[in-house]
Amino acid sequence: MAAFVRRIFRTQPNRVHVRSLVITEKHVRLVHFDRAGPQITPPIDIHLHPDTFVRLLAGLTSISERTLGLDDSIQWTIMDGRKGQGTLTATDSNGERKTYPILEHLPIPRDRMFGRGTTCWRVQDPDTSEELVDSDSSDDEILRATGRVFTSPLQFLCALCDAIAGHRRLVDDDLRVLHRDISQNNILLGRDDVPEGERGVVIDFDLAFRVTEEQPVITAGNHIQHDYLDDLESFFYVLVYIFLVFRPDGSLASGKGEGPAMVYKWTAECPEAAASGKRGLFGYGDDAETACEVVEKYWGPVCFALFEQFRRWVKRVTREKFTLLLHRKHRREGVPSLATLHAQRDEHYAEVLKVFDHAIDAVRAAAVAHPPVATPTAPSIGTALLHQNPSLNLADLPASAISASLRKSTLLQYLISPDRRSLHAHPRLLRLPRPVDPLASSSAGWKAPMNTLTRHSPMPGAL
């Protein structure tokens, strides 16, 4: 039964729970599956309690979508017995309920049925046509962010930097909110046109904790106080995860590569084994050396410097925290409390953000020093015809002879002057059936000077 339920959750992203019956000739048992795990009732004698049996059957055939286990804020138009256009009703920025057309479901990879079950949808504002993202874990509000994967180191670093800056505002004295679930799946890219500070968005506050006078702290499973330093450490693991699992253009690294193999250790069922896999990043063994080699090889010297500086910062601060906790455990007199470390909160965030700012400035400087250049490719049929007959108008060519690359970039590549800094004043540019934007043409094939990145993975946890 679990295999079928897993398939239901996978194919129905608006599914909240699944219920079913196990029936024998004498007994019935109700089985309930949700993201917290399965539950099953004791055997119920259907001959002694026929009314209960009938109520169970009636409940499982209810016309109420919520009773059946579906999120009824999402509705679908049925066409010829199949789902068509969908809509999502949520709270807009003014606090009012609004219905948005669904553009697509943004899958969040997960390797098991149980867990957070966070679901994201890309929707469109019916009034402004603006594309937005809704997360079922973001307090039922629409986020002005995208569900896209990053396509360059600069885009990724800016998003992660702004996510950390946003986290800093959360823990300030006026909000005092601790997220407690920073991961690669809980950071979204901002839109391309947003200002600094909105390029990365933190979502999914299901595990968030708000400090109050009655409950000033929250502890993890090992009774150790959970604080903002743990979330900052999780941001480091997000950075490492992306560096090891993706390439700078957003493509996935080979699943058999050293980077993904190292990250796979973090998914161990045993908490100690998973922690050991992460601790290897801070030592001087094979894992630390391999991580350094992978980051420098594929992401370049700037990202490697960021990795090294952030790693040293995490190592130093976690050692300070561990020392204070160890002294407190042994009740040693005259040892400062964690409050002395937390008093440096502003300095801690400033140090981390400064490292990111330097990396971002360096990536931008490299892009200016080495602007992207389109790489000539083998001429298409249309390009060959054009060179054989310079007076030929592209509009006269059959559609089959004009490739998309010819319309968008190949023609420009062949008309670029040898120094690659200017275009010849060629009449062909004025006779294209559709206008060509030289900037768009060259950027379409751009590769960052030090490679590029991507996001995707079945990895849970501290991204």
Cα angle for residues 116, 122, 123 (degrees, 5° grid): 125
Question: In the prediction, which pLDDT does 170 show?
Answer: 92
Report the range of poorest mean pLDDT among 6-10, 43-47, 293-297.
6-10
Question: In the prediction, which pLDDT does 142 show?
Answer: 58
pLDDT > 70 in the chain, percent: 73
Hey, where are the domains in the chain?
Answer: 2-68, 74-134, 151-369, 381-444
pLDDT tens, 311-356? Answer: 999 999 999 998 888 877 656 665 567 888 889 999 999 999 999 9
Question: In the prediction, which pLDDT does 442 show?
Answer: 34
Scanning the structure block, which residue is given the tokens 């809704």? 134
Please tell me the chain's helix, strand, coil percentages from 3-state DSSP, rounded to the nearest 5: 45, 20, 40
CA separation for the pair 151, 347 (Å, rounded): 31
Question: In the prediction, which pLDDT does 294 show?
Answer: 94
Question: In the prediction, which pLDDT does 395 show?
Answer: 46
* DSSP character at residue 128: T
Question: In the prediction, which pLDDT does 222 show?
Answer: 64
Across 34-62, average pLDDT: 93
Which has the closest alpha carbon to 19: 71, 74, 61?
A: 61
CATH topology of domain 151-369: Transferase(Phosphotransferase); domain 1 (1.10.510)
- Between the CA of residue 239 and those of 113, 160, 303, 453, what are the distances in Å? 26, 8, 10, 11
Which has the closest alpha carbon to 198: 165, 232, 156, 224?
A: 165
Coil, helix or strand for 407? helix
Across 384-408, average pLDDT: 45
With a CB cutoff of 8 Å and minimum separation 6, the contacts of 386 are 392, 394, 411, 428
Across 186-215, average pLDDT: 85
Identity of the residue numbered 56: L
CATH 3.30.70 fits 74-134, yes or no: no
For residue 411, what pLDDT band results from cuts at 50, 70 and 90? very low
Question: In the prediction, which pLDDT does 267 show?
Answer: 83
Q: Which residue has the higher pLDDT, 419 or 13?
A: 13
Question: In the prediction, which pLDDT does 369 show?
Answer: 80
CA separation for the pair 76, 65 (Å, rounded): 12
218: which strand partners? Answer: 226
pLDDT of 207 > 70? The answer is yes
For residue 271, what pLDDT band results from cuts at 50, 70 and 90? confident
With a CB cutoff of 8 Å and minimum separation 6, the contacts of 378 are none
Pairing relationship of beta strands 177-178 and 209-210 according to DSSP bridges: antiparallel
Which has the closest alpha carbon to 144: 191, 197, 102?
A: 191
Across 415-422, average pLDDT: 34
Report the range of poorest mean pLDDT among 71-80, 224-233, 280-289.
280-289
CA separation for the pair 209, 216 (Å, rounded): 10
Task: Please report, for the chain, how many H helices and E strands are present, in that order.
Answer: 14, 17
Q: Which two tokens stand for residue 243?
A: 């560096």
Question: In the prediction, which pLDDT does 235 show?
Answer: 97
Residue 380 has, within 13 A of its CA and on its CB side, a CA count of 18
Q: What is the mean pLDDT of the chain?
A: 77
pLDDT tens, 141-162? Answer: 555 666 678 999 999 999 999 9
Mapped to the 3 state alphabet, what secondary structure does 215-251 carry? CCCEECCCCCEECHHHHHHHHHHHHHHHHHHECCCCC
Question: In the prediction, which pLDDT does 134 show?
Answer: 76
Question: In the prediction, which pLDDT does 136 show?
Answer: 64
- Between the CA of residue 452 and those of 185, 195, 225, 253, 266, what are the distances in Å? 19, 22, 37, 11, 24
CA separation for the pair 22, 60 (Å, rounded): 12
Q: Which residue has the higher pLDDT, 421 or 103?
A: 103
pLDDT tens, 78-135? Answer: 888 888 889 999 887 777 888 999 988 877 766 667 777 778 888 888 888 887 877 7
